[in-house]
Structure 1
């Protein structure tokens, strides 16, 4: 029986969750303070101790129960619920049509502000030069 068909192969479940979340083994290893080889060993293990499972689940951003009860159908449902109920920032990323301003308008406003600041700087320099010329003529 291969590992994909074993219903309680915890390593395979961890692997599938990691893959679905588009996390590389190296990134998960770094989050756990280990190396990629250790993650590979975990993902090939049929069982894992409870403490390690808690650490892995936390690093993946899921509950221990989510790992233990993982199925492809549950995962699709989990991700759908996550994106449906996410914060405003996540919903903006997932659905950019919620943008309430035009980025080009903001860029143009910034350019206009920069131009005004530059004009004030030039005026300030002119006034400083006039003052210095007056001081030199007065001597």
Structure 2
């Protein structure tokens, strides 16, 4: 006999999603609250709520520079996964002006910049003498 288990889709905690997106964007709670014309405590309480009114969600999304859908569907695990695996899929190509530089290792760029700095300092030292 086959039994089926019904899995209830997990509902996103909108207040928590707002708090996390705000933090990822580097926006302080007091700053976002002021932009909304609220006290910081009001925003703090909103970030504890699972549901957020649609009109408030639209205002906050606009201020955070994201869509309402991003807030509703935000998945921190997916963000962390993408950050951790960015170098696995990114081609490490930097394009400046008409030239393109490809780094097989991210540390190559640091080494190159350090070498350029040393060369510059040596030239300045020679110029001063």
Q: TM-score, normalised by structure 1?
A: 0.48
Render the CA deviation track for 1:72-95: whole Å, top value 9, x for unaligned: xx332245179456x959xxxxx8
Q: How does 1:103-114 map to 2 (within 5 A)?
A: 103-114=113-124
Query: Partners of 1:12 and 1:50 in 2: how far apart?
Result: 15
Does 2:117 match 1:99? no
Q: How does 1:64-103 map to 2 (within 5 A)?
A: 64-70=68-74, 74-79=75-80, 80=82, 83=86, 96-97=106-107, 99=109, 101-103=111-113
Higher helix proportion (structure 1 or 2): 1
Question: Once the 2 structures are TM-superposed, how far is the Cα of residue 45 of structure 1 from its aligned partner?
Answer: 3.1
Question: Once the 2 structures are TM-superposed, how far is the Cα of residue 57 of structure 1 from its aligned partner?
Answer: 2.7
Does 2:45 match 1:41? yes
C-alpha RMSD over aligned residues: 4.0
Q: Measured at CA, do residues 22 and 98 of structure 1 come closer, stay the same or move farther in structure 2, by a change above 3 Å?
A: farther
Question: Once the 2 structures are TM-superposed, how far is the Cα of residue 31 of structure 1 from its aligned partner?
Answer: 6.3
Higher strand proportion (structure 1 or 2): 2
Query: Partners of 1:62 and 1:14 in 2: how far apart?
Result: 10
Q: Measured at CA, do residues 15 and 106 of structure 1 come closer, stay the same or move farther in structure 2, by a change above 3 Å?
A: same
Whichever of the two has the greater Rg, that structure is: 1
Gaps of 5+ in 1: 1-5, 90-94, 120-139
Match of 1:63 among 63, 67, 89: 67
Gaps of 5+ in 2: 1-9, 96-104
Could you list the structure 1 runs, at least 4 aligned residues long, displaced by more than 6 angstroms after superposition.
none
Q: TM-score, normalised by structure 2?
A: 0.50
Tell me if the contact between 2:16 and 2:47 (Cα under 8 Å) persists in the aligned partners.
Answer: yes
